[in-house]
C-alpha cells in the first residue's frame, strides 16, 4: 500500500499549523508613503525633535522634555532606579531593537570580515558600528523614524533589547512610571495605553522590511493593537514623517535638476 499521499498531506498540515500566520487583525495603520529614506541615525534624531515639537512627552512615562533634551520628571512621577544622570536626559529608543534587524547580518556577526570595519590599529568595530558603515539597509532601518520614540535615558538603557510582554508581580522601580522589567526573562511590560503603539510599530517593520515575527508575537501584538487603537498622535506622527520624507525627496530631486541644468 502506498502511503505517500497521506504523508504529503500530514507534512502540509503540519507546516500550516506550525508556521506563523498573519491574521486579518494585524494593524498596518502605520504606513510608508515615500521611497526616500534617511540613512543616518544622527540625522533622524534631529528631525524627530521637530516632529515632536508640540508633543514633547516620552513614550513610556509621559514625562515632558524640552528642546535641550532635558527630562522634567516632576510632572510624570518618574524617579531614577539607579542612574539619575541618564534619567534626566532624553534618548531616542528603537522600539524594535537594532539587534533584532542587525544580528542576522554578517556585518553584525563577523565585523572582522569587512576591511572597512577594522581600524588602523587592528581593533575591530562592534557589529552595530560595522553594519552602520557597510550596510545600507541596516542604516535605513536604524534611522527609520517610525521605529524611534522619545525615552527617558535610564529606561532606554534598562530596556536593552528585551522583548515586550506581560510581567506579572514585578514591583514598580521607577516611581509612578508604569514600566516593569523581568531581567530573568529579558522582558519589558509597557503601559496599557501604548501597547497598541508598540504592536503597530512591530507590524510596520514586518511589512516594510520583511522582518519575521513569531506566532506568539503575532498573537500578542494583534491583541494589543485591537485593545489599544491608534490615537490622534500616532496618526499625526505617521503623517509628519511621511511629509518630511516626501519633502526631502523633492529637495534632492531639485538639487539634481539644478546640477543637470548647469
Measure CA 64 to chain center. Answer: 21
Rounded mean pLDDT, 163-176: 92
* Predicted confidence (pLDDT) per residue in 230-257, tens digit: 999 999 999 999 999 999 999 988 887 7
**Residue 226 and residue 172: Cα distance in Å, rounded?**
26
pLDDT at site 259: 59
Question: Does 93 fall in a domain?
Answer: yes
pLDDT band for 8, please (50, 70, 90 cuts): very low
43: containing domain: 21-250
pLDDT digits (tens, 9 = 90+) for 66-85: 999 999 999 999 999 999 99
Number of domains in the chain: 1
Q: How far is the C-alpha of 184 from the C-alpha of 195, rounded, in Å?
A: 21
- Over range 158-170, report the average pLDDT: 94
In a domain, 60, yes or no: yes
β partners of residue 181: 188
Structural domain contains residue 97? yes
Neighbours of 39 (CB within 10 A): 15
- Whole-model pTM: value is 0.88
The side-by-side arrangement of strands in the sheet containing 180-182 is 163-164, 187-189, 180-182
Burial of 196 per CB tally in 10 Å (0-12, 13-18, 19+): buried
| Residue 18: band (very low, low, confident or very high) from pLDDT cuts 50, 70, 90 | very low
What the block records as the C-alpha cell of 210 is 520583511
Whether residue 24 has pLDDT greater than 80? no
Residue 57 lies in a domain: yes
Residue 1 lies in a domain: no
- Per-residue pLDDT tens for 89-147? 999 999 999 999 999 999 999 999 999 999 999 999 999 999 999 999 999 999 999 99
Does residue 4 fall inside a structural domain? no
Amino acid at each position: 500500500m502506498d502511503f505517500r499521499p497521506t504523508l504529503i498531506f500530514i507534512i502540509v498540515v503540519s507546516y500550516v499549523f506550525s508556521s506563523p500566520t498573519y491574521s486579518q487583525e494585524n494593524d498596518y495603520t502605520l504606513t510608508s508613503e515615500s521611497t526616500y529614506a534617511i540613512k543616518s541615525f544622527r540625522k533622524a534624531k534631529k528631525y524627530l525633535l521637530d516632529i515632536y515639537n508640540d508633543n514633547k512627552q516620552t513614550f513610556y512615562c509621559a514625562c515632558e522634555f524640552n528642546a535641550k533634551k532635558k527630562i522634567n520628571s516632576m510632572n510624570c512621577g518618574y524617579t531614577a532606579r539607579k542612574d539619575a544622570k541618564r534619567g534626566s536626559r532624553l534618548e531616542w529608543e528603537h522600539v524594535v531593537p537594532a539587534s533584532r534587524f542587525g544580528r542576522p547580518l554578517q556585518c553584525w556577526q563577523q565585523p572582522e570580515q569587512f576591511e572597512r570595519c577594522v581600524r588602523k590599529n587592528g581593533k575591530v568595530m562592534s557589529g552595530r558600528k560595522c553594519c552602520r558603515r557597510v550596510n545600507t539597509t541596516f542604516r535605513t532601518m536604524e534611522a527609520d523614524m517610525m521605529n524611534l520614540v522619545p525615552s527617558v535615558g535610564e529606561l532606554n538603557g534598562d530596556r536593552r533589547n528585551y522583548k515586550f510582554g506581560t510581567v506579572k508581580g514585578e514591583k514598580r522601580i521607577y516611581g509612578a512610571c508604569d514600566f516593569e522589567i523581568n531581567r530573568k526573562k529579558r522582558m519589558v511590560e509597557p503601559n496599557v495605553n501604548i501597547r497598541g503603539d508598540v504592536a503597530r510599530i512591530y507590524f510596520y517593520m514586518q511589512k516594510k522590511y520583511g522582518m519575521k515575527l513569531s506566532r506568539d508575537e503575532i498573537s500578542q501584538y494583534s491583541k494589543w493593537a485591537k485593545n489599544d487603537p491608534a490615537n490622534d498622535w500616532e496618526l499625526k506622527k505617521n503623517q509628519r514623517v511621511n511629509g518630511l520624507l516626501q519633502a526631502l525627496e523633492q529637495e534632492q530631486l531639485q538639487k539634481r535638476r539644478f546640477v543637470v541644468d548647469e
